[in-house]
Amino acid sequence: MSASFENRDGTIWMDGALVDWRKAQVHVLTHALHYGSAVFEGERAYGGRIFKSREHAERLRRSGDLLDMPVPYSVEEIMAAKEAVLAANGLTDGYLRVIAWRGAGPEMGVAAAGNPVRMAVAAWEWGAYYGPAKMQGAKLDISRWKRPDPETIPCHAKASGLYMICTMSKHAAQAKGCSDALMFDYRGFVAEATSANVFFVKDGVVHTPLPDAFLNGITRQTVIDLLRDKGVEVRERHILAEELPGFEQCWLTGSAAEITPVAEIGPHRYTVGELTRWVVGAYEAFVRA
């Protein structure tokens, strides 16, 4: 078992300074701990270059604005902090986690506009998110939880609080021997996995859920561009549960997941076919170009 994330060697950027990993701490009365007032980004570096670093920094700031919690650092400052952490930890390939949160301050209730917004950046080595499923195809459970109506949550923010049902869904999936869970939205349309977008293939056409009730992932957008550049038709649309048996191939996309083939969703089986293998290779080549 790897060391606890609170007890590792390394350096973390926190509120403008590089600090020892073990000293990057917050107070127990931090607002985000009690009320979920935090936004974050998960990113990967390949060969010393952070993939789409600017896009991630821009999204972090947009997420903060959607939570009425402006991130107090510019896009350039966020990007510089990530580069500093990567260098300080001697990493060329690795995963980065950037998080901004409402900290402890003079207020400790639901409203806490007077509390400071803080930010931290950590980085570490992280291999395949789904382990052996990266090559063999992941097995997905079907979650009992739904992605909520956009009128009830800021669904286009990458906000920590929105992952509560994702954690619950993935725990339930792992208890069944699955890698992850597929989630539907409040209308019954296919949405996403707990932390990755989903794609399907039928008769050479790629189908992917329309991101109108969940996050439009940066990796998702990259893969759509790669497919269209290849001349593959991509249809972004609402997908019904009863369509799942009719698809031939399936894969997940995300900064952590990268491109992970899917072999099973509940009772449905999929082939790790030629187009899936092409996407895996094309994405790997693109991020390292």
The answer to whether residue 76 is domain-embedded is yes
Print burial letters for 142-159: b (CB count within 10 Å at least 16), e (below 16).
bbeebbeeeeebbbbbbb
- Segment 227-247 shows an average pLDDT of 98
Kindly report which listed range (118-132, 146-160, 166-180, 205-219) carries the lowest average pLDDT score. 118-132
pLDDT value at 2 more than 80? no
The answer to whether residue 5 is domain-embedded is no
Categorize the per-residue pLDDT at 39 as very low, low, confident or very high, splitting at 50, 70 and 90: very high
Q: Does residue 117 sit in the same domain as residue 146? A: no
Q: Does residue 120 sit in the same domain as residue 102? A: yes
Q: Does residue 85 sit in the same domain as residue 103? A: yes
Angle in degrees, CA 30, 33, 36, rounded to 5: 120
pLDDT tens per residue, range 184-228: 999 999 999 999 999 999 999 999 999 999 999 999 999 999 999
pLDDT value at 1 more than 80? no
Residue that finishes a domain, picked among 124, 157, 172: 124
Number of domains composing the chain:
2
The answer to whether residue 256 is domain-embedded is yes
- pLDDT over 70 for what percent of the chain? 99
- Known catalytic residue: 52? no
Within 13 Å, how many C-alpha atoms sit on residue 213's CB side? 21
Q: Does residue 188 sit in the same domain as residue 98? A: no
- Cα–Cα nearest to 169, from 159, 183, 158: 183
Q: Does residue 113 sit in the same domain as residue 140? A: no
Model pLDDT, residue 212 = 98
pLDDT tens per residue, range 52-96: 999 999 999 999 999 999 999 999 999 999 999 999 999 999 999
* DSSP E strands, 15-159: 17-20, 38-46, 49-50, 94-102, 117-124, 138-147
Q: Does residue 101 sit in the same domain as residue 156? A: no
CATH code, 257: 3.20.10.10
- Segment 154-179 shows an average pLDDT of 97
Q: Does residue 68 sit in the same domain as residue 141? A: no
The answer to whether residue 244 is domain-embedded is yes
- Cα–Cα nearest to 185, from 201, 202, 162: 162
pLDDT value at 133 more than 90? no
Model pLDDT, residue 127 = 87
Model pLDDT, residue 197 = 98
Cβ 87 vs Cβ 121: under 8 Å: no
- Segment 104-118 shows an average pLDDT of 96
How far is Cα 171 from Cα 178, in angstroms, rounded to an integer? Answer: 9
pLDDT value at 286 more than 80? yes
How far is Cα 150 from Cα 218, in angstroms, rounded to an integer? Answer: 20
Model pLDDT, residue 3 = 81
Grouping H, G, I as helix, E, B as strand and the rest as coil, residue 273 is coil
How far is Cα 34 from Cα 282, in angstroms, rounded to an integer? Answer: 42
- Segment 140-151 shows an average pLDDT of 98
The answer to whether residue 3 is domain-embedded is no
- For 104, the token pair is 């402890």
Categorize the per-residue pLDDT at 131 as very low, low, confident or very high, splitting at 50, 70 and 90: confident
CATH code, 25: 3.30.470.10
pLDDT value at 284 more than 70? yes
- pLDDT over 90 for what percent of the chain? 96
For residue 166, give Cα distances in angstroms to 141, 148, 192, 193, 222.
12, 12, 10, 8, 23
- Indicate left, alpha or beta for 267 from its phi (over 0: left) and psi (-120 to 50: alpha): alpha
Grouping H, G, I as helix, E, B as strand and the rest as coil, residue 211 is coil
Q: Does residue 117 sit in the same domain as residue 214? A: no
Q: Does residue 112 sit in the same domain as residue 140? A: no
Q: Does residue 120 sit in the same domain as residue 145? A: no
Print burial letters for 101-134: b (CB count within 10 Å at least 16), e (below 16).
bbbbbeeeeeebeebebbbbbbbbeeeebbeebb
The answer to whether residue 165 is domain-embedded is yes
Q: Which domain holds residue 240?
A: 133-287
Q: Does residue 85 sit in the same domain as residue 169? A: no
- Segment 11-28 shows an average pLDDT of 98
How confident is the prediction for the chain on average, in pLDDT?
A: 96
- Segment 224-253 shows an average pLDDT of 98
pLDDT value at 265 more than 70? yes
Residue that finishes a domain, picked among 63, 90, 124: 124
Name the burial class of residue 83, with classes exposed (0-12), middle (13-18) and buried (19+) by CB atoms within 10 angstroms of its CB.
middle
The answer to whether residue 212 is domain-embedded is yes
The answer to whether residue 66 is domain-embedded is yes
Catalytic residue among 23, 158, 176, 202: 158
- Cα–Cα nearest to 195, from 160, 221, 163, 237: 163
Cβ 282 vs Cβ 226: under 8 Å: yes
Q: Does residue 113 sit in the same domain as residue 149? A: no
Residue that finishes a domain, picked among 124, 141, 158: 124
